[in-house]
Structure 1
Amino acid sequence: MGNGYIRRISVVLGFVALVAAAAMGVWRYGYFQALDQLARQGQSDLALASDRLTGQLQRYRELAVLVADHPRVNAALAGEDVSQAEALFLEIADKTAAQDIRLTNADGLVLAAARPDQPGLDIAPLVARAAQGALGWGNGRTAHGTRVFAYAAPVFDARSRVTGTVVVTADLAGIEWDWVGSNPAVFFTDARDRVFITNRSEIVYWQRSDEGPGLQPATGPALPFDSYELGRHEVWQLGWGPYLPQNALHLVRPLPVIGMTGEALVDVAPARRLATLQAAAVAGLCLAFGALLFLATERRRTLAEANAQLEQRVAERTAALSDTNTQLRREAEEREEAQAALAQAQADLVQAGKLSALGQMSAGLSHELNQPLMAIQTYADNAQAFLQRDKPDRAEDNLGRIADMARRMGRIIKNLRAFARQESEPALRVDLAQVVQSAVELTTPRMRHEEVTLTLNLPDAAVWVSGGEVRLGQVFVNLISNAVDAMAGRDTRALTIDIQNTSVIISDTGPGIETPDRVFDPFYSTKEVGASEGMGLGLSISYGIVQSFGGEIHGANGPDGAVFTVDLQPWTQEVAA
């Protein structure tokens, strides 16, 4: 008893450990998938923020180039009164929100400024680059601590010599104002690896750590930080305040056009929550199944123990109850024979059910073949009678009808053979109208039996698409059969098939699609349990077939019922190549 109890405890603990391992695997897989999705979204957000910053700064670059060509600038460089140039600079700065506009001569001496009383950026390196005929640009901080970005455009004379420089300075605080506090956290580091622009003001001027990834405050002690690699992703663990995530996906985007590097910190908490929910769902299902299996096993063990006790008591009374024991054995044998007979009867019933289903499927096509056979016999008798009466024209007409009936039977048999053939060839040139026509012919007996009204709109000419005749026929037969099943028992049963260019639209008057987003998922089915072909794989297989030919299949709800659209690739010389 003790050993059995220990064994059961060991099995339970082993099963729990297995479920925990499976849940951990599901969590890890889900976490990686969610991180990939977060990385894509974060890269999009970072690209958007980078493009916005670059675009806003580019306006000041173009402004510097345009102002450098203004006549008042050339007049000020020629020695005329600079007051008009300063008035022009002030007017432009007020209209464009520029922090300052300055004009220097070829030696770097400031001649005019929009706001001469305000301390500005050290523009000597920018002026030196502009003196070489190139566009100078850079970032820095004024004496008052204002973060600015400046562009220096050279001023050329008639001989293309640099006579001066126009420097346009932009206040970065005004640019940041529109997106401070937005998600995710984005910051831009300059050439000195310091945070110069960001939507989180608390990390401005933080410096890149010399020991590896991460940032350190400009003043004061370093705050908690750690990082690790997770696949192809870098995750930062932060303790930088309530407005920055504790665990963040670190993304980088170089911006050489402004000499900075854009970086983003995307919170990974949603990815962890999603992975945890997936792992919890898997663990819950496994534990529920294990609990049911354990209860069933315990019940079986209890019954086995009771049976063992009963056998022991019977063995003790064998001497006194031998006749009764013999009778019980005889009854047990009869019961086994009855069970064997019952099992055989059940197997026969299953086989009969299979044969009945096969007969139901073949009844419609048998009728399609039997009707032309009877017509052929009638036309043959008529032709013989007309020949005896010396009426060859009428006999020829009956023989022509016999030929038409024979062709009709051959077409039905051809469609059956084509539908049953195993097709493994690559995509070929296929007549879409002929494939749809063949599928309709195969399903016509079923539609006639279910009293479905068919409206078939086929083009006059062939519609050549890329695909396989058998596999595309399987798709359309499946869609038509599903539509007939959906309309079963309804007052109005109408099926419409339209071919528009290289698209086939199949609409019915059924109840519609309950969840269109899941209709192509494997094992998804709205048919009752036990119904034929109710495994939910038909539409999933059809989806894969159409995708393999480069097409698309969509399911939606129309005004009267479900509408399925199959879009295929037209056959061209490029597709053939």
Structure 2
Amino acid sequence: MNQRITDPLSARLRRVPRTQYVLGGMALLLSALLLWASWIVLSDRYMGALANRASVRSTLYANAIESVLKTYTVASALLAQDMLLLSALTGAPSQQTRLTLGGVQSTIGALSLSLYTASGTLVADTQQGDDKINHGIAPYFQLALDQDISVFATVAISESEQRFYFARRIQQSGTILGVAVIEVDLAGLQGEWVASEDQVFVTNAEDLILLSSRAEWRYRSLSPFLDPLSAQGSGRFALLPMLSLDPSRAGPQVAIDDEVFLRIDREVDFRGWTVTYLAPTSEVNERVTGAIAIEVMAMALLVAFGLYIISRRIARRSLQLQRESEELRALNVRLGSEIEERLRVEQSLQEAEQSLEQSSRLAALGQMSAAVSHELNQPLAAMRTYLAGAQLLMKRNRPEEAMTSFQRIDDLITRMATITNQLKTFARKGGTELAAVDVRRSVMAALAIMAPQIGQNRIEIVRHMPDSPVMVRADTMRLEQVLINLMRNAADAMRGQPDPRITIEVFSGPNLARIQVHDSGPGFKVPAAELFEPFFTTKAPGEGVGLGLAISAGIARDLGGSLNARNASDGGAVFEISLPLLRTPEQGEPDHERAR
């Protein structure tokens, strides 16, 4: 025997509306988008701050290097004009010459100063130790003799050490007497970089790192165009792994030993040198991660608080639903009996409405009887005249003229038959089945039935109807009854008015067919809604019971349309019937007809 076990949590989840799942998913999506947007905004902000700080630091380093190099450049130019050095080159050197060089060395902070004749003979120097360099045979010595400028040179002492020199020729009256050489001290500047823990290096125009805060980077090349084979033979030209640049808004980024740095370059106003400052982006990631963690914590607290509020609300709602369910059970019992009673009342009202509709038709038929009798009496009197004339013509043996009189009598009989058939048709009860009806034919049929009353009251009829059919789904008898009621009300409203006129217009729109009945009467003085209430009438006692418009509005609703009323701006009342089109016909030009 299989026993079915139901998980309470699963059952509760199945009862959760699908809308709540959708809202929950949207909330998660919005939270993810918010965190993503926060990450982007904070990353840009913190990276911008890092770039600003790195830009300031790189500018400071570049200014420091420019200051040192300009100092040595000016010092070499001053040495070339020193009179003591000129006399030492033209005469015998003295102890004072060495003391002068030593004083300049201590003033500018140089490592050493040397004075050579034009032939490369050492006159005096301040070099110490056994690793003295003979500058007289160096290439930059010959460059200094050939150019009247301070020549800068870099000399590789070993794979891990280089020295920097300024050489300037000394001349008098166009005669080159010798060359002064200054050994530049950049080690102190480099030591300050190492102590500051900043990642900074200086490259020359050939992308060779001359100075660096990290010893392993010194004398290595950044250029990717160097021959890798030659780089294997010389460590000082080995490629530094800084070539894969990742551009960002703050500047290019480089990866060194799995650590990402923001790279800021500053050009030094000296022989194409460039100071490169590397700012680690790890602090940006740490700050962004911390801010995102705070946002996630805040969201979690909000979610927890929201779930607490929802749980409390659900508990209260559950108790309320239990009480309401008990009340609904009792109410359902009462409503069941009331619904049955209402159904019986509605059935009785429907039967009464049908009876009232038929009574209204018969009442309208009674009102038209006087006009119809007058209309029939005229053909009968004419028939007597034509018959007497025909008998006289037969006695005089004029049968052809007598046949003309007989034909006129036949036309009068046909007219009388048409009037009586229309009255019988109107008196019948309409069917419940709907069929395709051309609105124009219904208007013409209603006008034919109302013709006696219209002619008796001398009412002008103006028709505006399209040439093409305007088809609706309706009961022909009931639609004609509504039109006759509106025409009869229009005729009654214009009683005693000079030049009475009824304008009937048929419009075929995209979805609706509209029939307007516009009279030239005084209009109505009450709200339009009251006109369609049962037993409301503006006629004198005995002239109407106030059911015509109410029944007509009910018929229009049964046909899927509506009946509305309003006062026209040029006077009179306008009643409009709106019915759904059976199909969209081709709109033709309106046919404007005027008849009396």
Q: TM-score range by the shorter chain?
A: 0.3 to 0.5
Bigger Rg over Cα: 2
TM-score of the superposition, structure 1-length normalised?
0.47
TM-score of the superposition, structure 2-length normalised?
0.46
